[in-house]
């Protein structure tokens, strides 16, 4: 046990790097400019938190007269478990099979179950952090609004700790089984991507099934019993995923008979799945791991000598670097899953919520589809930008190279040309997201061609600015010493800073447009003014990126 605790402690330190950050902030006194940015980002989230709390209060007051207020807890629990189910896939595949520290851990005297459990614990901590923004406010505000006693707060603490275990163990079992099957194939890269896509589709299909099941159960008998039982609505909603119902009853019932039964079932199923994961760790984990490291090795890497030969043979340097950039993205499925696949999954998730859900997301998408004139143009442009640009591809451009960045420094190609190639690559991923978003708006929601064309024009120009901003932030301090490829994107602070910077750019443009509309500027005139402002911002950002690259490439140490 002491051996496992040591492994777990090292894994947590490696994952979060808190000791490294503290050393750089307070000992070396470097990167202190991050602190005000982090504080600014936290302050920027306060309005969103305030709006979320108001929404929680509105739903609670809407359901309370009907005696169905505990359904609010079911929504939060379902949302949290769905997020774990989808994003847990990225974490599990990356941590279990693509961490660089596996090469050091496997020869050490650790059992396969100890290695896998240490990584599972790290993923679990990450999932707790993921749920903080969506689940914890509901648990806390529900307790305040209902004037809950100590029993509720104890139950809330226990349920929050148990919440991600069932979906995460399910994902872990599926991934371990998938990777064992992948090892029977010669084309491991393709099989991993196909298998991951199947699991993601299955997760989204589960969410669709849950919502359709809830809708299908709203019949005359259900409506008759609606006012007679406080569990009628939550049972309908959670029929497709019973763990959400168990957790809700355990939370709302606290230490009552119903609450203890729900808590007991939740704990029992969690332990059962956890035991199944331990068995899989002993029998399948290392078998699925063997040979995975050979995936990239089978492919011919674009080395420095090959790059020089192609350039000497007349191939354009930008195209040569662009080819290498695609190889970097594709050689590790985690990069492809978090980059290319994300721009497809996000629009599909929005479509799913619009078709079977209710709330702010549904209203937003339906307003875009029904919008005419400038409203439809701006709404479609915003949706396209969310679909294509907020995925971390641009803001991890240099970080994804990791310790191999030295090749970019010594290549006989100017930094400016290398950055142009990287920009084209990131912008192409954004265009793929625009295309997926367009399919959702046209085929799924029936948006007309006029507003969509205007939205595309604005998104194309704004996308260039957001891509350049993300690359500038990552170039300023690339994360090159990662051991887990997931860390280069999902745990890279540059991605978070780029997200806030993108919101800042759009907020500046939106504020500018608002004051113009208040001044009486509207219609086509306002559209062209917004377009001109975006052109100026994009031009300035791209030019700064090129100039910054010439200086920054020389200063980066690998």
> Which residue is associated with the tokens 């029998």?
283
pLDDT at 174 (0 to 100): 81
Greatest Cα pair distance in the chain: 80
pLDDT at 140 (0 to 100): 92
Please give the full DSSP string across 216-278, using - where no structure is assigned. Answer: HT-SHHHHHHHTT-TTHHHHHHGGG-HHHHHHHHHHHHTTSHHHHHHHHHHHHHHHHHHHHHH
For residues 12 and 122, the answer to whether their CB atoms sit within 8 Å is yes
pTM for the model? 0.64
User: Residue 442, exposed/middle/buried by CB under 10 A (0-12, 13-18, 19+)?
Assistant: middle
Compute and round to an integer the Cα radius of gyration of the chain.
Answer: 25
Residue 67: left if φ>0, alpha if ψ -120 to 50, beta else—which one?
Answer: left
Name the CA dihedral angle for 530, 457, 445, 50, rounded to a multiple of 10 degrees: -40
Instruction: Quickly list H helices, 303-341.
Output: 304-312, 317-331, 333-338
> Which residue is associated with the tokens 């139950």?
155
Please give the full DSSP string across 47-82, using - where no structure is assigned. Answer: HHHHHHHHHHHHHHHHHGGGT-TTHHHHHHHHHHHH
Please enumerate in sequence order all residues whose Cβ is within 8 A of that of 461, keeping only pairs 6 or more positions apart, or say none.
531, 534, 535, 538
> Which residue is associated with the tokens 């975006």?
534
Please enumerate in sequence order all residues whose Cβ is within 8 A of that of 323, keeping only pairs 6 or more positions apart, or say none.
302
pLDDT at 222 (0 to 100): 47
Nearest alpha carbon to residue 288 among 177, 123, 189: 177
- Residue 483 structure tokens: 């051991």
Angle at 432 between CA 431 and CA 434, to 5 degrees: 60
pLDDT at 208 (0 to 100): 55
pLDDT at 468 (0 to 100): 93
Cα separation, 227 vs 470, whole angstroms: 52
- Residue 271 structure tokens: 């332990």
For residues 387 and 434, the answer to whether their CB atoms sit within 8 Å is yes
User: How far apart, in Å, are the Cα atoms of 95 and each of 190, 289, 357?
Assistant: 19, 11, 32
Phi and psi at residue 484, in whole multiples of 5°? -120, 125
Nearest alpha carbon to residue 498 among 475, 478, 477, 474: 474
257-261: Cβ within 8 A, 24+ apart: 259/151, 259/155
Across 291-425, the runs of DSSP E, i.e. the strands, are none
For residues 558 and 406, the answer to whether their CB atoms sit within 8 Å is yes
Angle at 112 between CA 106 and CA 116, to 5 degrees: 100
> Which residue is associated with the tokens 């701006």?
378
Helix (H, G, I), strand (E, B) or coil at 522: coil
pLDDT at 226 (0 to 100): 45
Cα separation, 115 vs 279, whole angstroms: 13
User: How far apart, in Å, are the Cα atoms of 528 and each of 369, 457, 537?
Assistant: 22, 11, 14
- Residue 20 structure tokens: 């490294």
Q: In tens digits, what is the pLDDT along the chain, a chain of 558 residues? A: 577 788 888 777 776 665 556 656 666 666 665 666 666 656 656 777 888 888 888 888 888 887 778 888 888 888 888 778 777 777 787 777 766 677 777 777 888 788 888 888 888 888 888 888 889 999 999 989 988 888 889 988 999 999 999 988 988 888 777 777 665 555 555 555 565 556 666 655 555 555 555 445 444 444 444 444 555 555 555 555 678 888 888 888 778 888 888 889 999 999 999 888 888 877 777 665 655 544 444 445 555 555 555 544 444 778 878 877 877 776 666 677 677 777 877 787 777 665 554 444 555 555 555 555 677 788 888 888 888 887 788 888 888 888 788 788 877 788 888 899 999 999 999 999 899 888 888 877 777 777 888 889 999 999 999 999 999 998 988 888 776 676 777 767 788 788 888 877 887 887 888 788 888 777 788 888 889 989 999 999 999 999 898 888 878 876
> Which residue is associated with the tokens 């800073």?
497
Cα separation, 115 vs 106, whole angstroms: 8
Cα separation, 91 vs 168, whole angstroms: 10
For residues 494 and 112, the answer to whether their CB atoms sit within 8 Å is no
- The upper half-sphere exposure of residue 484, i.e. CA atoms within 13 Å in the direction of its Cβ, equals 26
Nearest alpha carbon to residue 321 among 250, 397, 259, 229: 397
For residues 422 and 411, the answer to whether their CB atoms sit within 8 Å is no
- Residue 368 structure tokens: 């875009």
pLDDT at 466 (0 to 100): 92
Q: How many residues does the chain have?
A: 558
Within 10 Å of residue 296's Cβ, how many Cβ atoms? Answer: 14
For residues 413 and 317, the answer to whether their CB atoms sit within 8 Å is yes
> Which residue is associated with the tokens 């629990």?
77
């Amino acid at each position: 046990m002491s051996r496992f605790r040591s492994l777990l402690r090292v894994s947590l330190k490696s994952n979060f790097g808190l000791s490294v950050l503290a050393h750089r902030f307070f000992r070396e006194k470097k990167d202190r400019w991050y602190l005000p940015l982090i504080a600014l980002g936290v302050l920027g989230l306060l309005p969103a938190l305030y709006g979320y709390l108001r929404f929680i209060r509105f739903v609670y007051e809407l359901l309370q007269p009907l005696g169905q207020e505990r359904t609010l807890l079911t929504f939060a629990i379902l949302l949290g478990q769905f997020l774990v189910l989808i994003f847990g896939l990225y974490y599990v595949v990356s941590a279990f099979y693509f961490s660089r520290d596996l090469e050091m851990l496997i020869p050490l005297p650790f059992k396969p179950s100890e290695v896998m459990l240490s990584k599972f614990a790290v993923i679990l901590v990450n999932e707790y952090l993921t749920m903080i923004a969506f689940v914890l406010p509901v648990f806390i505000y529900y307790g305040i609004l209902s004037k809950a006693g100590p029993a509720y707060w104890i139950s809330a603490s226990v349920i929050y700790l148990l919440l991600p275990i069932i979906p995460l163990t399910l994902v872990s079992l599926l991934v371990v089984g998938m990777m064992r099957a992948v090892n029977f194939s010669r084309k491991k890269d393709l099989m991993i991507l196909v298998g991951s896509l199947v699991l993601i589709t299955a997760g989204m299909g589960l969410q669709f099934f849950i919502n359709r099941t809830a809708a299908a159960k709203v019949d005359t008998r259900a409506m008759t019993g609606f006012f007679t039982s406080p569990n009628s609505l939550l049972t309908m909603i959670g029929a497709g995923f019973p763990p959400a119902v168990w957790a809700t009853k355990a939370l709302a019932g606290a230490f009552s008979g119903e609450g203890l039964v729900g808590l007991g079932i939740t704990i029992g199923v969690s332990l059962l799945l956890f035991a199944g994961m331990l068995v899989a760790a002993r029998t399948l984990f290392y078998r699925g791991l063997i040979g995975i490291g050979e995936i990239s090795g089978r492919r011919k890497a674009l080395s420095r000598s090959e790059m020089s030969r192609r350039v000497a043979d007349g191939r354009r340097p930008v195209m040569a670097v662009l080819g290498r950039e695609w190889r970097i993205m594709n050689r590790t499925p985690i990069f492809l899953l978090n980059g290319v696949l994300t721009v497809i999954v996000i629009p599909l998730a929005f479509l799913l919520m619009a078709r079977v859900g209710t709330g702010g997301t549904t209203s937003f998408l339906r307003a875009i589809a029904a919008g005419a004139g400038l409203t439809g143009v701006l709404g479609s442009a915003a949706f396209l930008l969310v679909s294509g640009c907020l995925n971390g591809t641009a803001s991890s451009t240099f970080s994804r190279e990791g310790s191999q960045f030295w090749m970019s420094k010594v290549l006989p190609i100017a930094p400016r040309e290398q950055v142009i190639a990287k920009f084209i690559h990131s912008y192409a991923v954004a265009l793929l997201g625009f295309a997926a978003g367009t399919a959702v708006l046209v085929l799924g929601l029936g948006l007309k061609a006029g507003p969509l064309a205007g939205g595309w024009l604005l998104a194309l120009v704004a996308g260039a600015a957001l891509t350049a901003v993300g690359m500038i932030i990552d170039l300023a301090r690339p994360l090159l010493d990662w051991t887990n490829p997931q860390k280069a994107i999902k745990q890279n602070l540059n991605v978070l800073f780029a997200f806030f910077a993108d919101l800042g750019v759009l907020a500046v443009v939106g504020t500018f447009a608002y004051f113009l509309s208040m001044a009486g500027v509207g219609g086509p005139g306002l559209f062209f003014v917004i377009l001109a402002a975006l052109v100026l911002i994009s031009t300035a950002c791209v030019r700064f990126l090129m100039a910054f690259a010439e200086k920054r490439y020389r200063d980066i140490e690998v």
